Structure 1
Amino acid sequence: MVKQERAARTRESLVHAAAEVFAQEGFTAASIAAISQRAGVSTGALHFHFDGKTSLALVVEERAERTLREAAAVAEGRGPAGGPLRVLVGSTYALAEDVVVRAAFALCADAAHSSRVDLRGQWRRRAEELLVEAERAGLLAEGVSPQDATRLVVALTVGLEGLEGGEPGPGARQLLTRIWSVVLPGIASGEVEPEVLVEAFAAKETD
């Protein structure tokens, strides 16, 4: 049992380390040596768990896909009133603070890596679903279409992996708060209080 737990911890460390290296250096520049060093294990230990960086990248993408599915469910129970816009904003915070998600978004756009997961497409579809719901509920500003709002939201949130040095955590969350503070008043109707909604999530993320 102890050996199994140790093996599981090593595997998790390698996945997290690989995500950090992929997010910062890209797939091509990422090396097995750099990933091993960051995880605090030997390259032999890495190869015991994974065939190489391609298999690590695939696991990173699978983990990110699961996080994307879970993000909306987590956001449902947090934040002030705002319905689908609350869920949308909350989901972006959940994604921004997760280095595995940030790395997977970068991998999807990396021509050197053949991704098996269309994470960007999944996020785009989920964001559009929420914005369509928001329109039906009268929560979008007049003249704002769900499709246009989706393009803006996805471009801004997915692009976070290229900002702040690719690092997740407080820096990324603060940047996301500034982005939403500018964007949300432009797409939300008078039924929504953008400052209250954004500040509630920003405060919860830094508690």
Structure 2
Amino acid sequence: MMSKRQERAVRTREVVLRAAAETFERDGVNATSLAWISEVAEVSKGALYFHFDSKDELAEAVCAEGHGRMSSLVRDCCRTGAPALEKLAKLCRDLVRAVRGDVVVRAALSLVRERGVPRALHVDPYRNWCRLVHRLLSRARAEGGLGGGVDVDTSTALLVSAAMGVEVLSRRDPSWLDEELLGRVWETVFPAPLS
């Protein structure tokens, strides 16, 4: 059981991470100062420095937190007993919702694109997505869930590039994060509807 002081420290860290994600996403890392993040978070500079020694450390923490949230979606989806193609469809929807609704996820993806994969992350979320899509499509093929004319490698390339493109385009126009659009893309690639 956590003490009140530990609970307060956890809450402060969460508030600082969210404020950093908001400012990194809006202004970029280079234009953001720790003083501005502490002001947005409404915490003292001392409270911010208690958790993070530098802006780089804070950027890495935002990346790690965003990656953790995306990984949690993947784990939850892959634990189900659903067919592989259904898992992939659900995961695509869940990730669209996460990018649309979670500033930490958006900032993490943006930071990885801008600055590369931070040391603390150890994995490239884009490469992981590509491997996961390929693995799920390969399982769908083995389960008989893909039509005979659907090529796993080509479909992987198309889905991954479409997902990356939508995420990048949504930076300027959030309407790209539309589940109906996702459903139409899905139906174009696969004969089965996005359920």
Category of TM-score, reference length = shorter chain:
0.7 to 0.9
| Structure 2, gaps ≥5 residues long | none
Structure 2 CA distance for aligned equivalents of residues 71 and 13 of structure 1: 22
User: How big is the shift at 1:177?
Assistant: 0.5
CA contact under 8 A between 1:128 and 1:146: conserved in structure 2?
Answer: yes
Corresponding position of 2:72: 70
Consecutive aligned runs of 4 or more in structure 1 exceeding 6 Å deviation: none
Corresponding position of 2:83: 83
Corresponding position of 1:139: 145
Q: Identity, % of aligned pairs? A: 34
Alignment partner of 2:103 out of 99, 103, 116: 99
CA contact under 8 A between 1:85 and 1:131: conserved in structure 2?
Answer: yes
Corresponding position of 1:61: 63
- The answer on 1:120 being equivalent to 2:126 is yes
Structure 2 CA distance for aligned equivalents of residues 92 and 34 of structure 1: 34
CA deviations on 1:22-72 (whole Å, 9 max, x unpaired) are 233332233323322322213332112101221112112222332233212
Corresponding position of 1:153: 159
Aligned length: 186
Structure 1 vs Structure 2 CA RMSD: 2.8
Change (3 A) 1:19 1:158: farther
Change (3 A) 1:38 1:135: farther
Change (3 A) 1:100 1:152: farther
CA contact under 8 A between 2:183 and 2:193: conserved in structure 1?
Answer: no
CA deviations on 1:130-172 (whole Å, 9 max, x unpaired) are 12112222333443322222222223333444344479xxx67
User: How big is the shift at 1:114?
Assistant: 5.8
CA contact under 8 A between 1:160 and 1:166: conserved in structure 2?
Answer: no
Alignment of 1:158-177 (within 5 A): 158-165=164-171, 175-177=177-179
| Structure 1, gaps ≥5 residues long | 198-207
User: How big is the shift at 1:128?
Assistant: 1.5
| Counterpart amino acid of residue 136 in structure 1 | A
SS in 1 for 2:145: coil
User: How big is the shift at 1:9?
Assistant: 0.3
